Amino acid sequence: MNTKTKRKTDPALAHARREQVLAAAADCFKRRGYHGAGMAEISRTAGMSAGHIYNYFASKEAIIESIIERDMEEMFSIFQEFEDQPGDLVTILLDGLDHGVERHTDINQGALDLEMLAEAARNEKVALLLRESDKLAREKMRSLLIGERSPLKLASMAEIDSRIEVMFAVMSGLLLRKTLNPSINKAGLLVALRPAMKTLLTPFESLEPLN
Amino acid sequence: MNTKTKRKTDPALAHARREQVLAAAADCFKRRGYHGAGMAEISRTAGMSAGHIYNYFASKEAIIESIIERDMEEMFSIFQEFEDQPGDLVTILLDGLDHGVERHTDINQGALDLEMLAEAARNEKVALLLRESDKLAREKMRSLLIGERSPLKLASMAEIDSRIEVMFAVMSGLLLRKTLNPSINKAGLLVALRPAMKTLLTPFESLEPLN
Amino acid sequence: MNTKTKRKTDPALAHARREQVLAAAADCFKRRGYHGAGMAEISRTAGMSAGHIYNYFASKEAIIESIIERDMEEMFSIFQEFEDQPGDLVTILLDGLDHGVERHTDINQGALDLEMLAEAARNEKVALLLRESDKLAREKMRSLLIGERSPLKLASMAEIDSRIEVMFAVMSGLLLRKTLNPSINKAGLLVALRPAMKTLLTPFESLEPLN
Amino acid sequence: MNTKTKRKTDPALAHARREQVLAAAADCFKRRGYHGAGMAEISRTAGMSAGHIYNYFASKEAIIESIIERDMEEMFSIFQEFEDQPGDLVTILLDGLDHGVERHTDINQGALDLEMLAEAARNEKVALLLRESDKLAREKMRSLLIGERSPLKLASMAEIDSRIEVMFAVMSGLLLRKTLNPSINKAGLLVALRPAMKTLLTPFESLEPLN
DNA sequence: CATGAATGAGTTTTCATTCAT
DNA sequence: TATGAATGAAAACTCATTCAT
């Protein structure tokens, strides 16, 4: 009746298994770190033998690379939402802060991001993937900030890029904050975060006649 | 009788040896990461045998813990300078940004900090030390911001803490920025960083009647 | 009723499948060695799944054993040709050298033979098969050399056996020569090989009054 | 009193340990083959931990390479003896046969040689070493056979090389004979081996007017 | 008959740590 | 104090073999 199932390699099963492994690995990396988590633990978490994982991933390295790629796609869809949303750009971005803070102060996700960043220092492939991802994110952001509806559309490109760097620094810095001060909370953060971001999204001149 | 001072344990020599190991280990951790750097490489860099290191440190873990403690002391002296400096607090802090950016975009130091943070996720002792260090830093900063010469002396404690969190987020976020975008430079960053920090160091109301 | 012959086990198909596997395995063993060739590669080469091979062979070991048995049969037919051929025995055998050299300097076949011999050192079953094969070959040769048309028919059995050992040593030694000196060629070899073989096929006395 | 012993790395100890490992590995390779022998077994045989072996050899491969190099040196000294010995060359070489047969029918050495040859088929480094060794052996032999005291000094180089190939084939073929027919003995072999070698060491013409 | 997903024991290799000297 | 030889418990990865379908 249904699709001629199960003859020859089933790509759906293979895909499901890959996801199973990625989820398990992400989980283990968060808890134990990339080097701390052994293939044995990952396979136990994924509910399959260690040997079998190698039918889906060439190496442990390939697993973390896949995780990064999955994260890149997630980030893309977030920027796409900003682009698609109608209305005042500053408002949209400031409203997006809630979600951004949520994402960046999630202790699990943060631990994983940190692992990937630390790994980048000694694994060139990981570094390249992360930098590529970051580059695309900056470009997305730039295209938003120089767009017609942006209050910064007249600013120089150098200034735009500087603003982006600082905005990205704040957001990614939140990852570390949650590790260094586990008691912070979203609401508290936003009190100062929103004004700071607003500053970064509007022209400076009026505020800084001296600088 | 004579100055044959080196009989039995010489505390000065012991201290020098410890420093030698710490410097070597920091160097190796920066280049190879905590797990990537082996005791063999550290001992080679320190110019002493691997076995001998264990006369000064109980374990590899103890070494990174000592490095963290050393970094804490360094951070302390920086805050002390802010406290001791006369004049307008905002100006002092904004002027300090140059040095802060330098410190946080140094790719070597950044790599080491990242290693320590990632290690914190799986090593409770490291986490505790880092959190202790961060707590002290926040307290130092808080005492600056509620002091007599601060424009924020009337703000609520919750607001002060929120500002501190965000300021710390930006600065520590710079560590990640250098990894993700190796081409950023200090001068470029300051264009947007100074206004953002200024916002975080002065009362919000006047700037944000709408929010 | 009709010729729907393929219900249940078809011995012809089974035999074809076995041959398919043996050919593929021989090919892989030549290229990668017995341990270097995995069941995965063999199954790919044979055009059937790895699991299915186990319907025809109990183990990887059983495969190499079958290959040896097949080689034994091939060797038999060669000796049979010598026996069946009319004319002077020495001439027949010396003329057979061309084919023998061809066979023993074929780099592929040589690699496979070497694999089997090396495997014999650690696998008793393989050793037994090879020795059995060799024993039969020596017997065949002996029956040729003591036959009516042989110039050695009057020699002692010990001498006959010694001659056979040395002749076999030369021929099997060629396997190694091709590995150790890939640039040798058939024509060059025969210059010295034919006289040596002739010595081994004719009475010694006249040549060696001293020994 | 004695040599300033034991300060810093002791090269004598290191050398002894290397020999220990080489002996143990050779032993294991003979019994189990290169792939059959694990580092665990080798280390047990050598009386040291598996990990420690890696202080002396970079890999299991490096061990077999060292064994080959040691064998090369042994072969050299044998040829050197031939060169240094005074008297009739043919007699010297034929007298050397006893020792050669001993060496090539030693079941242990034979197993090891076979392993190395089989490994050469899949390990380029091993193949290169063995070929280099063989090349040097052929050159040594050639220089003997074209020397003043050789009955072959007038033969063409092609013929000399052909004779060498066949002589080497016989001798190396003996390695296989012992594996295929464990009951052969030195004395029996020599009955036919000496005449065959004599043929290969003296001019052909007088013996073979027909060929 | 035929598949290939799945296993798990086995492999080589690394490395923090100990200890006799 | 100082060495580096030595250990052994991991680690990542491979592969012959099994079995549900």
The 10s digit of each residue's pLDDT in A43-61 is: 999 999 999 999 999 999 9
- Contact partners, residue B8, CB within 8 Å, separation at least 6: none
- CA C53 to chain D, closest CA, distance in angstroms equals 24
Note the pLDDT tens digit of each residue in A13-50: 999 999 999 999 999 999 888 998 999 999 999 999 99
- Contact partners, residue D58, CB within 8 Å, separation at least 6: none
Per-residue tokens: A17: 């298994």
pLDDT grade for A1, boundaries at 50, 70 and 90:
very low
Which pLDDT score is estimated for D209? 45
The answer to whether residue B110 scores a pLDDT higher than 80 is: yes
pLDDT, mean over chain D: 90
- Contact partners, residue A162, CB within 8 Å, separation at least 6: B188, B189, B190, B191, B192, B193
| Mean pLDDT of all residues in C167-186 | 94
Higher-confidence residue of A84 and D206: namely: A84
Note the pLDDT tens digit of each residue in B154-211: 999 999 999 999 999 999 999 999 999 999 988 999 999 999 999 999 999 654 444 4
Residue whose entry in the numeric block shows the structure tokens 């006649």: A209
Q: Is B103 in the A-facing interface, judged by CB distances under 8 Å? A: no
pLDDT grade for A141, boundaries at 50, 70 and 90:
very high
Q: Do B176 and A173 touch (CB under 8 A)?
A: yes
Q: Which of residues 4-43 of A touch B (CB under 8 A)?
A: 30-33, 35-36
The answer to whether residue D59 scores a pLDDT higher than 60 is: yes
- Which residue of chain A is at minimal alpha-carbon distance from B112? A118
Number of H helices, E strands in chain A: 9, 0
**C-alpha to C-alpha distance for A28 and A41, rounded to whole angstroms:** 7
Facing A162 at nearest CB: one of B127, B168, B188? B188
* CATH superfamily label, B11-57: Homeodomain-like (1.10.10.60)
Domain spans of chain D?
11-57, 61-201
Facing A195 at nearest CB: one of B111, B130, B211? B211
Going along chain A, which residue ranges are E strands? none
Which pLDDT score is estimated for C49? 96
Residue whose entry in the numeric block shows the structure tokens 């060696």: C208
- Contact partners, residue A202, CB within 8 Å, separation at least 6: A90, A151, A152
**Sign (positive or negative) of CA dihedral A135, A140, A146, A150:** negative
pLDDT cut 90: percent of chain B above it: 72
The answer to whether residue B83 scores a pLDDT higher than 50 is: yes
| Mean pLDDT of all residues in C178-187 | 91
B60 CB contact with strand E at below 7 Å: yes
Task: Give me the CATH code for the A61-201 domain, please.
Answer: 1.10.357
**C-alpha to C-alpha distance for D68 and D52, rounded to whole angstroms:** 22
The answer to whether residue B7 scores a pLDDT higher than 50 is: no
Q: Do B169 and A179 touch (CB under 8 A)?
A: no
Which pLDDT score is estimated for D166? 98
Q: Is A49 in the B-facing interface, judged by CB distances under 8 Å? A: no
Q: Is A136 in the B-facing interface, judged by CB distances under 8 Å? A: no
Taking CA atoms, A73 is separated from A39, A78, A165, B53, D108, in Å, by: 25, 9, 21, 46, 61
A8 CB contact with strand E at below 7 Å: yes
**pTM of model > 0.85:** yes
The answer to whether residue B124 scores a pLDDT higher than 70 is: yes
Higher-confidence residue of B121 and B84: namely: B84
Which pLDDT score is estimated for C11? 79
| Mean pLDDT of all residues in C195-209 | 80
Which pLDDT score is estimated for C205? 65
The answer to whether residue A207 scores a pLDDT higher than 90 is: no
Distance in angstroms: CA C77, C1' F17: 36
**Weakest mean pLDDT among A39-53, C1-15, C81-95:** C1-15
Distance in angstroms: CA B75, C1' E18: 36
- CA A9 to chain B, closest CA, distance in angstroms equals 39
Chains interfacing with D (3 or more CB pairs < 8 Å)? C
Which pLDDT score is estimated for C107? 84
Q: Is B169 in the A-facing interface, judged by CB distances under 8 Å? A: yes
Q: Is B174 in the A-facing interface, judged by CB distances under 8 Å? A: yes
**Weakest mean pLDDT among A184-188, B141-145, C9-13:** C9-13
Give A93-119 as a 3 state SS string.
Answer: HHHHHHHHHHHHCCHHHHHHHHHHHHH
Q: Do C207 and D198 touch (CB under 8 A)?
A: yes
User: Are residues A122 and B111 in contact, defined by beta-carbon separation less than 8 angstroms?
Assistant: no
| Mean pLDDT of all residues in A131-137 | 95
Q: Cα-atom radius of gyration of chain C, to the nearest Å?
A: 21
Which pLDDT score is estimated for C12? 83
**C-alpha to C-alpha distance for C2 and C119, rounded to whole angstroms:** 48
**C-alpha to C-alpha distance for B180 and B132, rounded to whole angstroms:** 28
Which pLDDT score is estimated for C38? 95
D57 CB contact with strand F at below 7 Å: no
pLDDT, mean over chain C: 89
User: Are residues A119 and A25 in contact, defined by beta-carbon separation less than 8 angstroms?
Assistant: no
User: Are residues C67 and C116 in contact, defined by beta-carbon separation less than 8 angstroms?
Assistant: yes
| Mean pLDDT of all residues in C76-96 | 90
**C-alpha to C-alpha distance for D153 and D144, rounded to whole angstroms:** 9
Which pLDDT score is estimated for C3? 43
| Mean pLDDT of all residues in A152-174 | 96
pLDDT grade for A116, boundaries at 50, 70 and 90:
very high
pLDDT cut 90: percent of chain A above it: 74
Q: Is A157 in the B-facing interface, judged by CB distances under 8 Å? A: no
Taking CA atoms, D17 is separated from B120, D12, D50, D65, D201, in Å, by: 42, 9, 13, 16, 43
Q: In the 8-state DSSP scheme, what is residue A207? A: G
The answer to whether residue B5 scores a pLDDT higher than 60 is: no
pLDDT, mean over chain A: 90
